[in-house]
Structure 1
Amino acid sequence: MAENVKNIIEFLRLVGQLKRVKRTGWVMCKVEQPESVSDHMYRMAVLAMLIPEGKGLRRDHCIKMAIVHDLAECIVGDIAPADGVSKEEKYRREKEAMNHLTSLVDPAVGSELCQLWEEYEEGSTEEAKFVKDLDKFEMILQAFEYETLEKRPLELQEFYNTTKGKFTHPTVQEWVGEVYRQRDGDMADKS
């Protein structure tokens, strides 16, 4: 029993690192107060709660997946494309981290965490595709906020460019359209 509690505390301390791991893209772009991986995962979970009823997605499943999708980053860090790590190597590192994390919790819980992570990585379900859309959407919403807060109009365009035309879910496409409308409006107001 004591060993189980010890492992849970280790798991929680590792996961707590996500509050201190800054998102690499924002650090590289010299954002003044870059969000943490935990911040990103939290807003993704909130976004998942906004799924309209009747859209064929399991809301609770999407919320859980949003919370789990970057869990491995508490060990491997936020690996960005600019880091020069191949997709295969990134996956290998994250899979190893997930195996360690899930070994610290109840086997049934660990299995669920691994399955959610794998499902997201593979994009194998409608929920995984939706959560991948949320991941990209949260990034451009955050870019819009940084541009606005730091008075850096259009300086984070690269984040929009990497997601352009890649959103598949109609609800997320609507949200993306609104971010673009507001961003365009802000830029027009400043000229």
Structure 2
Amino acid sequence: MIERLRQQMEFLVEIDKLKSVSRRAYLMNGSRNENDAEHSWHLALMVMMLQEHANEPSVDLLRVVKMVLVHDIVEIDAGDVSAYDAAGQAGKEERERAAAKRIFGLLPAEQGAELLALWLEFEERETAEAKFAAALDRLAPLLHNYQTEGQTWQEHGITLEMVLARNSQIAQGSERLWEYAQELIRESVEKGYLPQR
């Protein structure tokens, strides 16, 4: 029992590092970049508030919450890479798999296996839960960019075509949230937050 507790505590200390992983997205007030821990917490609340909009409303809420809480833990080792950064995407899958093995491997075997399975489920996006979690993971940066008048988009030369290509997958988890996302995108173009080319 002492060894089990030691492993759990070692994992909990390790994942505190997620608070230091900076994302490209700014806080909605534009004051600074968001960190991965803040992003995961915000997604967990989005799951709770927006479950009714999932394509499958009977989606397992607890499973989705767990998924969004663990989905970025691998970035402790692998770092946050923008979805629009082609060079940064090279080798990302291998880096993240190695990180998952190391970090989840700190836990007692069955807990580590559970978190690894949740992480893989999110990455594979085949279940209704993973599709909904991924939809929210894509919607969140849209909200941030809309609220900051396109701060990240403009800094990194992101265009309408890129945003549409990246975010159309929201529909796989929630048609309603994709409709909402398209409204945000349309308004962002109209207000000059997001360049068309």
Counterpart secondary structure, 1:147: coil
Q: Is the 8 A contact 2:160 2:189 kept in 1?
A: no
Structure 1's consecutive aligned runs of 4 or more residues displaced over 4 angstroms after TM superposition are 181-187
Please show how residues 16-95 of structure 1 align to structure 2 within 5 Å: 16-23=16-23, 25-26=24-25, 32-49=31-48, 50-52=50-52, 55-81=57-83, 82=85, 84-86=87-89, 89-95=91-97
Equivalences, count? 180
Task: Select which of 156, 172, 177 maps to 2:177.
Answer: 172
1:47 & 1:143 partners in 2: Cα distance?
Answer: 17
Greater RCO structure (CA 8 Å; 6+ sep): 2
Q: What SS does structure 2 have at the residue aligned with 1:52?
A: helix
Q: Given the two structures, how large is their TM-score scaled by the length of structure 1?
A: 0.78
| Greater share of residues in strand | 2
Identity percentage over the alignment?
Answer: 26
Structure 1 unaligned segments of length 5 or more: list them: none
Q: Using the alignment, how far apart are the partners of 1:153 and 1:139 within structure 2?
A: 9
- SS at structure 2 position matched to 1:35: strand
Q: How far apart are the structure 1 equivalents of 2:140 and 2:59?
A: 19
Deviation string 1:56-75 (CA, Å, 9 cap, x unpaired) is 31111111111111110112
Matched-pair contact (CA < 8 Å) for 1:16–1:74 = no
Give structure 2 stretches of 5+ with no counterpart. 193-197
Change (3 A) 1:110 1:45: same
Which of the numbers 92, 108, 111 marks the counterpart of 2:110? 108
Distance 2:92 2:153 in 1: 30
Whichever residue aligns with residue 45 of structure 1, its letter is A
- The residue aligned with 1:10 is 10
Any residues of structure 2 matched to 1:100-179 within 5 Å, and which? 100-147=102-149, 155=154, 158=158, 161-164=161-164, 165-168=168-171, 169-179=174-184
Bigger Cα displacement from structure 2, 127-136 vs 77-86: 77-86
Could you say if the C-alpha distance between residues 84 and 153 of structure 1 is closer, same or farther in structure 2, counting changes exceeding 3 Å? closer
Between stretches 115-124 and 44-53, larger displacement belongs to 44-53
Q: Distance in 2 between matches of 1:77 and 1:155?
A: 22
Deviations 1:19-51 (A, max 9, x none): 11111x348xxx650100111111111111120
